[in-house]
Amino acid sequence: MKHIFVTGGVISSLGKGLTAAAIGTLLERRGLKVTIQKFDPYLNVDPGTMSPYQHGEVYVLDDGAETDLDLGHYERFTNSKLTRFNNLTSGQVYQRVLDKERRGDYLGKTVQVIPHITDEIQNRIREIGEKSEADVVITEIGGTIGDIEGLPFVEAIREFALNAGSNNVLFLHVTFVPFIKAAGELKTKPTQQGVAKLREIGITPDILVCRCEKPLNKELRQKLSLFCNVQYEGIIEEIDVEHSIYEVPLMLQQEGLDDLICRKLELKTPSADMSDWQDIIRKLVTPKNQVRIGVVGKYVELQDAYKSVYEAVIHGGIANDCGVKIERVEAEDIEKKGAIKTLHGYGGILIPGGFGERGTEGKILAAQYARENNIPFLGLCLGMQIATIEFARNVLNLKEAHSVEFSPETPHPVIALLDEQQNITNKGGTMRLGSQPCKLTPESIAAKLYNSNEINERHRHRYEFNNSYREEFEKAGLLFSGQSPDGNLVEIIEVPRHSFYLASQFHPEFKSKPNKPHPLFEGFIKAALACDRNRNV
């Protein structure tokens, strides 16, 4: 089994996760089985309890694990089947070691970071390899080299390499080569110092992936090679992409990165056929159509809070050969300025998931605007709950209808706590999580889009549609087109005789890929495009 360890230097947000994912794309297309895991140095057991301000999106896997959003990149860029074992935090490592200590496994010994914590991390590296039966395990170490909290992970991969054999392990360091305007040139010093930090621990990178705004010339490459002790061929340029993150694998292939990795790890494979990927890029760069989608949320100023949603919308565009301009609408702005001013002109309106009351009234106005004006609408998780509340208030005339999450005393709790949640008090990992089966109503929009009557989708919620209101909603024309197999939980609602009005309790965005756009997003963008065209006539 071969291992690639990806570290990052100088600054955060260099796109280490994307680089790791893109390497996965290339290696898979060389016929290799790949798995990718992320080590996160923070002490939370998982990111499930963290706010989007702290952490960005929480990405949910089939098995219900709440994980880092980089796992979203891994799944979108590769076919690797990820589980909760693909995201390890310091919190989990310490929890495991402390459980063992209490059990008496270390009886008589002092429990220490080295070797006990670092051994535990190495165990996980071996376990993931065995479980996934991959040819290549890519491990991304979160954070930046030099962070105190990341040290045990870096030490662990150094120790791991010691015993694994030099042709089985490769260290790839993603670094930043800034362009200094005043000097008019790219500067290598931060990279030199970042790599020096890594070498202090005992790791010399085999490959330096240099994130930069401008191309690296030969002279700079030579300088980086000399000062960082990396062979010349190991200096790889990763320049800012022009159009889309999906260009990264093609860029790295052009730099010869996958060839180099395979040579260093002694993997004999044909080169990667990226023709379908090139077609995706063609559709992203020169699409035949264009549409604007308004995403109404409360974390719209954050780049990463709705990451998978934005990506899935773009995939929906790819499926329709359509460029999508995503415009983020602050829900509270709708409350202040009204729906017409804030939402006018969008081909479609999307309300993603969320927690907490702030912005809910604005979202309700957005759902009403879309429903009443025949504008394609897609609601996801909280988005479905919002659509339900809106329908109750404005169609059923239950003016005080609400979700008990936001108004525990509402006389019309159309969204209520899930039964299974009644006695749960702990917050971490206790929502209804992960992949669950769902039955679709034949002939519904959902069934037509999925081209199936049975689906599995990922969940992350505590509240649900309140069944005591079902009849009333149905009489008023709402269609419950998706339900749990026992019929107890509403999973999809649709408003018939509308250009497209569909909302799901699950999160379809987690299963969309650029080369396999999710059917609901494909249908939503198709409807948005048609709606835009009608408007332009």
Footprint of ligand GLN (CB under 6 A) = 353-355, 381-382, 405, 460-463
Q: Based on CB atoms, which residue is closest to ligand GLN, 261 or 438?
A: 438
Q: Based on CB atoms, which residue is closest to ligand GLN, 223 or 518?
A: 518
Question: What minimum distance in Å lies between the beta carbon of 353 and ligand GLN?
Answer: 3
Choose, from 120, 494, 509, 522, the residue flagged as catalytic.
Answer: 509
Question: What minimum distance in Å lies between the beta carbon of 477 and ligand GLN?
Answer: 24
Q: Based on CB atoms, which residue is closest to ligand GLN, 85 or 355?
A: 355
Phi, psi at 515, each rounded to 5°: -95, 5
Report residue 478 as tokens: 């709402």
Indicate the residue whose CB is closest to ligand GLN: 353
Report residue 47 as tokens: 């990111």
Question: What minimum distance in Å lies between the beta carbon of 198 and ligand GLN?
Answer: 38
What CA–CA distance (Å, rounded) separates 393 from 173? 55
Q: Based on CB atoms, which residue is closest to ligand GLN, 153 or 473?
A: 473
State whether the Cα torsion 350-355-361-362 is positive or negative.
negative
What CA–CA distance (Å, rounded) separates 100 from 218? 53
Residue type, 27: L
Strand blocks (E) in 287-337: 289-297, 322-330
Question: What minimum distance in Å lies between the beta carbon of 28 and ligand GLN?
Answer: 30
Name the DSSP letter for residue 513.
Answer: B
Residues 6+ apart with CB under 8 A from 310: 295, 326
CA atoms within 13 Å, Cβ hemisphere of 59: 26
Q: Based on CB atoms, which residue is closest to ligand GLN, 323 or 352?
A: 352
Strand blocks (E) in 56-134: 59-60, 66-67, 87-89
* DSSP β-bridge partners for residue 289: 322
Choose, from 210, 381, 438, 531, the residue flagged as catalytic.
Answer: 381
Residue 154 burial by Cβ neighbours in a 10 Å radius (0-12, 13-18, 19+): buried
What CA–CA distance (Å, rounded) separates 178 from 42? 27
Cβ count within 10 A of residue 84? 17
Distances (CA, A) of 209 to 32, 229, 232: 22, 14, 12
Q: Based on CB atoms, which residue is closest to ligand GLN, 171 or 480?
A: 480
Question: What minimum distance in Å lies between the beta carbon of 432 and ligand GLN?
Answer: 8
**β 412-417/463-465 pair status:** antiparallel
Q: Based on CB atoms, which residue is closest to ligand GLN, 58 or 281?
A: 58
Active site residue 243: no
Active site residue 461: no
Tell me whether the omega of the peptide bond preceding residue 115 falls within 30 degrees of 0, making it cis: yes
Question: What minimum distance in Å lies between the beta carbon of 524 and ligand GLN?
Answer: 17
Q: Based on CB atoms, which residue is closest to ligand GLN, 171 or 463?
A: 463
State whether the Cα torsion 495-496-502-505 is positive or negative.
positive
Question: What minimum distance in Å lies between the beta carbon of 48 and ligand GLN?
Answer: 11
Report residue 79 as tokens: 């076919």
| Tokens 């054999």 sit on residue | 165
Question: What minimum distance in Å lies between the beta carbon of 373 and ligand GLN?
Answer: 24
Choose, from 238, 507, 518, 522, the residue flagged as catalytic.
Answer: 507
Q: Based on CB atoms, which residue is closest to ligand GLN, 73 or 460?
A: 460
Residues 6+ apart with CB under 8 A from 370: 343, 349, 376, 377, 501
What CA–CA distance (Å, rounded) separates 520 from 486? 23
CA atoms within 13 Å, Cβ hemisphere of 447: 13
Question: What minimum distance in Å lies between the beta carbon of 429 and ligand GLN?
Answer: 14
Contact present, 176 and 10 (Cβ < 8 Å): yes
Q: List, by residue number, the catalytic residues.
A: 381, 507, 509
